[in-house]
Amino acid sequence: MAEVTAALVKELRERSGAGMGDCKKALVETAGEMEAAIDWLRKKGLSSAAKKSGRVAAEGLVGVASEPNKAGMIEVNAETDFVARNEAFQNFVTTAAHITLSVGDDVEAIKAAPYPGTGRTVAEELVHLVATVGENMTIRRAKVFSVKEGAVATYVHNALKPGLGKIGVIVALESTNDLDAITTLGRQIGMHVAATKPDALDIDSVDPAALERERSVLTEQALASGKPEAVVQKMVDGRIKKFYEEVVLLEQVWVLDGESRVREVVKKAGCELTGFERFHLGEGIEKEVGDFAAEVAAVSGVPQPV
C-alpha cells in the first residue's frame, strides 16, 4: 500500500478536480493507487475527468522528417528548455529524424546507426553532444510510417524551426488520388490529431483493458440511478458510443467543420487512413520539481532565511 501523502492528494485533486477531502478518502479506499482512486471518484460522481494525459515534464524537441511515401518522427529529451534553442541540439534532432527513415523506429537500431560525417554512431554523437552542451540527453521514442501509394503527412504544432517542435504528428493515407491533395488532407488530419489527442485509429484498435475499465465505471454510474437493468444497459451503450467519439480518431468530429466525422472526410477524399502517431514532448514523464533558491544556497553555502 502506497503512503497517502499530501503530495499524492494534491496530484489527485489536480487530475480529478474533486475536493481535497474526497481525494484523500479515495486514496485511502484504493490503497494509494492513483488510477484506481480516479475511478473511485468517478463512480461516486465526484470527478468528471474521463481521462487525463500524463503531465508534460521533460524538455527537448520532437523532430519529423519525410520522403516520398514515408515519414519518421523522433523525441529527444534534455534537462532544460534552453537546450531546445541550441543549434547543435536542433541539428542532432533533425538528423536523427532523417535516420529513422532508413533504419526504422527501433530506438536501439537508431542509436547504433552511423551518424553522418562523424565516424561515430548516433549514440556516440549524443554522448559527444552531452559533453559539449553540458546536459543529459536521451532518445526516448520514434515512429515511422510508410504507404504503397499515397502520402505520410507530417505536422508540427508551433514549430520552433521546420520539422522541430514540442508536438509532432505523422499521418499515413493510402490513396491513388492526387498526391498534393492527399498530403494537404494528411496535414489537416495531423492538426486535428494535435488538438484532439485520440487514443486509437478505429473502434477495433481501442485498448480492451481501457474499454473494460470505462464500461465498469459507466455501469456503476448507471446502476446508481436506480433504473431497471434493461435501461441501464441502454444508458451504458450510449455512453460507450460517446466514449468512442472521444478517443477514436475516425469517430471524432472533424475540427475543421465541427460537423462531419473524420471517417466521412477520409472516405469522401477517396483515401484510407492506415495509421497516425502523436508525440507530445515529455508526456508521461515526471519531472523533479525542486526549490531553485534552496539549490543555489546549498551550492554557495549561504544559509536560507527561516
Name the DSSP class of 42: H
Q: d(Cα 244, Cα 60) in Å, to the nearest integer?
A: 32
Model confidence over 7-25: pLDDT tens digits? 888 888 777 766 677 788 8
Q: 304 falls in which pLDDT band (50, 70, 90)?
A: low
Write out the three cell numbers for 289.
Answer: 520539481
Determine the pLDDT at residue 115: 97
In whole angstroms, what separates CA 23 from the centre of its chain?
26
96: nearest Cα among 128, 51, 70, 62? 62
Count of CB atoms situated within 10 Å of the CB of 21? 10
Determine the pLDDT at residue 111: 95
Q: Are strands 59-67 and 164-165 parallel, antiparallel or unpaired?
A: antiparallel
CB of 100 within 8 A of CB of 109? no
CB of 266 within 8 A of CB of 188? no
Q: Tell me how many helices (H) and strands (E) the chain has.
A: 11, 9
Q: d(Cα 154, Cα 101) in Å, to the nearest integer?
A: 13
Model confidence over 97-144: pLDDT tens digits? 999 999 999 999 999 999 999 999 999 999 888 878 877 889 999 999
* CATH, domain range 1-49: 1.10.8.10
Instruction: Assign a CATH topology to domain 59-170.
Output: Tetrahydropterin Synthase; Chain A (3.30.479)
Determine the pLDDT at residue 225: 77
Radius of gyration over every alpha carbon of the chain, rounded to an integer in angstroms: 23
* Matching residue, cell 517542435: 165
- Sequence length of the chain is 306
Helix ranges, the chain (H)? 6-16, 20-29, 34-43, 87-103, 107-112, 122-133, 179-196, 208-223, 229-247, 262-268, 292-300
Determine the pLDDT at residue 287: 63
Determine the pLDDT at residue 63: 98
Q: d(Cα 126, Cα 221) in Å, to the nearest integer?
A: 51
74: nearest Cα among 188, 170, 148? 170
Average pLDDT, the chain: 86
Residues of the chain within CATH 3.30.479.20 domain(s) are 59-170
* Matching residue, cell 492538426: 191
* Matching residue, cell 475499465: 213
When comparing pLDDT for 260 and 231, which is higher? 260
Residues of the chain within CATH 1.10.8.10 domain(s) are 1-49
Determine the pLDDT at residue 132: 82
